[in-house]
Amino acid sequence: MVENRSDTFDIGGKLTVHRLGFGAMRLCGPDIVGPPPDEDAAHDVLQRAADIGVDFVDTADSYGPGVNERLIRESGVTDETVVATKAGLLRNREGEWLAHGDPEYIRNQVLVSRDRLGVDEIDLYQFHRPDPDTPFEESVEAFAGLKDEGLVAHVGLSNVTVEQLETARDLVDVATVQNRYNPGDREADRGSDRVLEACEEYGIGFIPWFPLGAGDLGEKADVIERIAGNHDATSEQVTLAWHLQHSPVTLPIPGTSSVDHLEANVAATALELTDEEVTRLSE
């Protein structure tokens, strides 16, 4: 019986979730545009995730766009699952991701996301990416206002530096930070290792996106493969186990459109790496 055996984390000190979550982005069409080929299969993945104890799901208004949030509502898991969504990116027919942090746009999008998800209050609302054409403080203040109005319970950031995190913390209680992060990619340009350290200091949840690196973990790949052989596990399971043991505030959100792959990922929560193995992957 596969079940989510990861320990828990309190998002914003209040929302208790298992630390292994699910990233729903892949439940869309090609290039994350349009609906998936089989919407019933997408519903099955979300329902199975909830059945085996995955109670934290990450999405965004730009996934589809809009499709992903709708599928989550239709799957019927919003009552038993903490749903995190985002605003701050626009899409076009070419599949580009265009930063758009205008406060009025953010205030509009929270209403759209609430409607698609079928909720009165969004559990965790994240600023998807800083917009070079909009002052960062103005975007964050918009999110703070949504929290004050009771439209969102908690505010998160994504793709930020330590300096941006510190700026945001002066404006609103930051519950989570979501940055690109895996054993082979610490996103040096944004200093995600430093961001993780700051999250540990402040008790902020750190959500690594691209946690498996789509199978490309660079120079760490051979090390992970050897460790996987020692545990009769897959490289993906070792990578997820590393995320969970590397830091107590990390909330990995591997995504998939397959129930079998979902169950394999959740099985990683039963894998215990040695301290030496964790150190080798953390160096």
Please give the pLDDT value at position 264. 98
Q: What is the CATH number of the domain that holds 43?
A: 3.20.20.100
Q: Judge whether residue 269 has pLDDT over 90.
A: yes
With bands split at pLDDT 50, 70 and 90, how would you rate the model's confidence at 187? low
pLDDT tens-digit series, residues 117-139 = 999 999 999 999 999 999 999 99
Q: Judge whether residue 186 has pLDDT over 80.
A: no
Q: Is residue 2 part of a domain?
A: no
Please give the pLDDT value at position 190. 55
Answer whether 183's CB lies under 8 Å from 224's CB: yes
Please give the pLDDT value at position 26. 96
Distance CA 122, CA 118 (A): 9
Taking the alpha carbons at both ends of the chain, their separation in whole angstroms is: 34
Using CA atoms, how far residue 12 sits from 84, 152, 221, in Å, is 12, 12, 34
**Which residues share a beta bridge with 158?**
178
Mean pLDDT rounded to a whole number for the chain: 95
Q: Is residue 1 part of a domain?
A: no
Determine the structural domain holding residue 250 and report its residue range.
8-282
Decide if 63 is catalytic.
yes
Can you read off the two tokens belonging to residue 149? 């109005």
Percent of the chain scored above 90 by pLDDT?
90
- For the chain, the domain total comes to 1
Q: Judge whether residue 188 has pLDDT over 80.
A: no
pLDDT tens-digit series, residues 12-45 = 999 999 999 999 999 999 999 999 999 999 999 9
With bands split at pLDDT 50, 70 and 90, how would you rate the model's confidence at 142? very high
With bands split at pLDDT 50, 70 and 90, how would you rate the model's confidence at 219? confident
Q: Is residue 3 part of a domain?
A: no
Q: Judge whether residue 59 has pLDDT over 80.
A: yes
Can you read off the two tokens belonging to residue 252? 């990995």
